[in-house]
């Protein structure tokens, strides 16, 4: 995915992201082939500013998220469901932090320089870590969706999950994501084309076609289908069924709020990444005519995908009273005791409620 953006960010290097390096096989363009040098330079500085903004917004937000989740894990009164769910949510935060600290600065520098000047080792690590982090985030969201399903539909079974098991699942998520990204680690390379340096994943058309099918048919679409099935059942149980599984109105409200918050993060991930995946697929099957519109639209799809690494903290802080209260506490804002007393069980959304929203079930 990311390699196509390398071509477009410079407006020069149009080596195929999955082919043998044919200069006309991707969307990228040389100055003079539909794009002026002045237009390319101005566009690159604009997109470099966008990447800097992603870093400035995303890094503090994800650091705060990590601190809040870590405090919840250390809290002696935390329920078993919160302790088992928190490591999976931390997975998302850690992958976003890795993405922000490495991939975003590399893309910023490459956009400013207009071609690749950071060497082969940096090219390989950037490509591999890019796809690794994306799938860690995706599989972590899948795990959270399954946990949400278990907590709502089968609450008794979900209580038997141990924290050690969840740590093992997190390790499995990182391992599976690494396996998915192996071709990027193997085939990524830096090279010169017509006087301009480029960082690309160079595979034959047959290898690219096979990898695309495996990526979509094995790594992506089955997991997406499972997420859809989980949330279809959850929404039906919480909003449509007359006989509810939960035992109290406060537990129902907590489940609904937690479900909406987690579902919002998944929807944001899909909306922000779908244009990038579609563009990658189209670039492998057809040739685009160079134009300013194509150049800007393509760069915007990748900017949108990169923006997802700072979306989760915004969603959590906007939709969770718990994260809002913890954020105030981190900055030295102490809540009024009367306000705490006035908040009922449905509004006293602790760490357990955010991550599992079934803490009331533990005491039923």
Helix (H, G, I), strand (E, B) or coil at 31: strand
Looking at residue 253, what is its pLDDT? 77
pLDDT of 280 > 90? The answer is: no
- Asked if 96 contacts 57 with a C-beta cutoff of 8 angstroms, the reply is no
Average pLDDT over residues 115-122: 87
Average pLDDT over residues 279-294: 71
For 2-19+26-362, the fitting CATH number among 2.40.10.10, 3.20.20.70, 1.20.1070.10, 3.40.50.720 is 1.20.1070.10
Residue range 214-256, pLDDT digits in tens: 887 888 888 889 999 988 888 888 887 655 555 566 677 777 8
Gap between the Cα atoms of 52 and 302, Å rounded: 14
Q: How does the average pLDDT of the chain come out, rounded?
A: 75
Cα 286 to the center of its chain, rounded Å: 27
DSSP class of residue 241?
A: -
pLDDT of 193 > 90? The answer is: no
Q: Which two tokens stand for residue 307?
A: 């923006």
- Asked if 227 contacts 142 with a C-beta cutoff of 8 angstroms, the reply is yes
- Asked if 99 contacts 305 with a C-beta cutoff of 8 angstroms, the reply is no
Which residues does residue 53 pair with via DSSP β-bridges, in sequence order?
A: none
Range from 53-67, 221-235, 273-287, 349-363 carrying the lowest mean pLDDT: 349-363
Those residues whose C-beta lies under 8 Å from the C-beta of residue 291, and which sit 6 or more positions away, are 34, 35
Q: What percent of the chain has pLDDT over 90?
A: 21
Please spell the DSSP secondary structure of 70-136, one letter per residue: HHHHH-TT--HHHHHHHHHHHHHHHHHHHIIIIIHHHHHHHHHHSS--SHHHHHHHHHHHHHHHHHH
| Strand ranges in 140-206 using DSSP code E only, listed in sequence order | 188-193, 196-201
pLDDT of 324 > 50? The answer is: yes
Domain ranges of the chain: 2-19+26-362
pLDDT of 135 > 50? The answer is: yes
């Amino acid at each position: 995915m990311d390699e196509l953006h390398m071509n477009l960010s410079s407006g020069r290097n149009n080596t195929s992201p999955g082919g043998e390096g044919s200069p006309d096989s991707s969307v990228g363009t040389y100055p003079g082939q539909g794009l002026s040098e002045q237009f390319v330079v101005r566009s690159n500085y604009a997109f470099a500013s966008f990447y800097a903004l992603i870093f400035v917004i995303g890094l503090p937000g994800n650091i705060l998220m990590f601190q809040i989740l870590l405090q919840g894990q250390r809290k002696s009164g935390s329920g078993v469901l919160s302790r088992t769910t928190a490591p999976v949510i931390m997975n998302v935060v850690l992958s976003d932090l890795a993405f922000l600290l490495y991939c975003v600065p590399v893309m910023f520098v490459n956009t400013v320089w207009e071609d690749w000047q950071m060497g082969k080792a940096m090219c390989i690590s950037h490509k591999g870590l890019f796809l690794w982090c994306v799938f860690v985030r995706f599989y972590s969201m899948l795990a959270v969706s399954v946990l949400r399903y278990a907590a709502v539909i089968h609450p008794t079974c979900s209580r038997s999950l141990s924290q050690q098991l969840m740590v093992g699942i997190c390790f499995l998520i990182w391992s599976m994501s690494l396996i998915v990204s192996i071709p990027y680690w193997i085939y990524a390379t830096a090279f010169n084309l017509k006087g301009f340096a480029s960082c690309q994943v160079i595979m034959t058309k047959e290898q690219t076609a096979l990898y695309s099918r495996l990526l979509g048919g094995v790594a992506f679409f089955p997991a997406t289908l499972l997420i859809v099935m989980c949330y279809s059942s959850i929404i039906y149980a919480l909003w449509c069924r007359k006989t509810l599984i939960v035992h109290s109105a406060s537990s129902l409200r907590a489940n609904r709020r937690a479900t909406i918050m987690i579902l919002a993060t998944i929807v944001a991930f899909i909306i922000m990444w779908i244009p990038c995946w579609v563009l990658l697929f189209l670039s492998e099957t057809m040739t685009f005519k160079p134009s300013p519109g194509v150049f800007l639209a393509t760069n915007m799809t990748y900017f949108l995908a990169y923006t997802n690494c700072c979306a989760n903290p915004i969603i959590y802080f906007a939709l969770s009273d718990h994260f809002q209260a913890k954020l105030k506490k981190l900055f030295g804002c102490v809540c009024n005791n009367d306000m705490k007393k006035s908040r009922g069980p449905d509004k006293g959304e602790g760490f357990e409620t955010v991550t599992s929203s079934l803490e009331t079930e533990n005491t039923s």
